[in-house]
Amino acid sequence: MKNIIPLMGFLMALLLTPHAMAGADTMPEVTVTDPARSYGVQIGDVLSRHLSFTLPANSQLAKDSLPAKGSRQDGIELVSVQMQQDGKQGYVLQLQYQVFATHSTPVAMQLPELSLKYQAADGQEHVLAIPAWKFWFAPLVSSNAARLGKAAVNMQNQFRPPLVDMREMRYWLLVFAGLVVAGALALLYINADRKWLPFMGGAFAEAHRRIKRLKPSSPQAVQEAFYHLHTAFNTWHGNNCFAQDIDSFVQKNPRFGRSRAAIDRFFASSNEHLFLEQGQDTAETIKELKQISKQLRHCERGVA
């Protein structure tokens, strides 16, 4: 009985062959482009099939014969179906399958065969058979129980992890820290109207420094001290600044407004010493000028 069934199949094939061959003569040619690699496919891989064919004139493709998106077979899911019509009878079908199968050993799998139907001009229905495409599924991890059993043997002692070389990073850290400090100082200096650092010279800072160096015992010391302070006033005023110019000086340089009394005192003292010859003793005068110059230096730096 077992031998009868294949025999009947063979006879049926012989009976159908002429018709099939006749149909094959008129069957449109299908160009199938399968994935380039048929091995090493793993879970999550996406495999694309590209079909293009041209139906005979006045034929109609049966849309319901197209594979349905989301259909799954043997762990392979059709995730995308895109069909474009190329001219009136030409079709391009782009299918994307994604592999979700899990196997611990390599397995031969296939993208399923397809049967696309179309209705010819005479109303007869024909089938375009697209063969399956086979490939080898490769597991992500080989599950070899024997090997797992030997894992303990292969385990190695724990070592202290090697230290990361920090020298370069430390160097750059120092460089950037230096830049931050320099930037902060620069901001401070700019905020003090570029007169913060004594060696960067505000006029009154300069005068104060020079007056500090004077020796009170020197006969010319008082005149020199007045000279330095008058020079500072002239520098800030833009011209010679005399007692009658105090108002315009303060108006022009409001930062010195708070020391108006000291300025008045200075010019009065200057007139007394230099022109009226009524001044007090040298040491006292230089001490007073030192204080005035210091106060005006603070104004100059905007910290008074």
Which residues bind to another protein, rule: CB under 8 A? 223, 226-227, 230-231, 234, 239-240, 242-244, 271, 274-277
Least separation in angstroms between residue 283's CB and another protein is 19
Q: Which is nearer to another protein, 34 or 272 (CB)?
A: 272
Least separation in angstroms between residue 197's CB and another protein is 26
Q: Which is nearer to another protein, 137 or 249 (CB)?
A: 249
Q: Would you say the C-alpha torsion 202, 204, 209, 214 has a positive or negative sign?
A: positive
Task: State both tokens at 194.
Answer: 């570029």
Across the chain, which distance is largest between two alpha carbons, in Å?
A: 150
Least separation in angstroms between residue 251's CB and another protein is 17
Helices and strands, number each (H, E), in the chain = 9, 10
Of 61, 69, 68, 67, which is closest to residue 117 (Cα–Cα)?
A: 61
What is the DSSP secondary structure assignment for residue 75, as one 8-state letter?
T
Least separation in angstroms between residue 275's CB and another protein is 5
DSSP lists the bridge partners of residue 96 as 48, 80
Q: Which is nearer to another protein, 121 or 276 (CB)?
A: 276
Q: Is-contact 58 121, C-beta < 8 A?
A: yes
- Positions of E strands within 60-124: 60-61, 72-73, 76-86, 90-99, 107-111, 114-119
Q: Which is nearer to another protein, 118 or 233 (CB)?
A: 233
Q: Which is nearer to another protein, 117 or 237 (CB)?
A: 237
Least separation in angstroms between residue 300's CB and another protein is 20
Q: Which is nearer to another protein, 91 or 267 (CB)?
A: 267
Least separation in angstroms between residue 298's CB and another protein is 25
Task: State both tokens at 20.
Answer: 């099939």
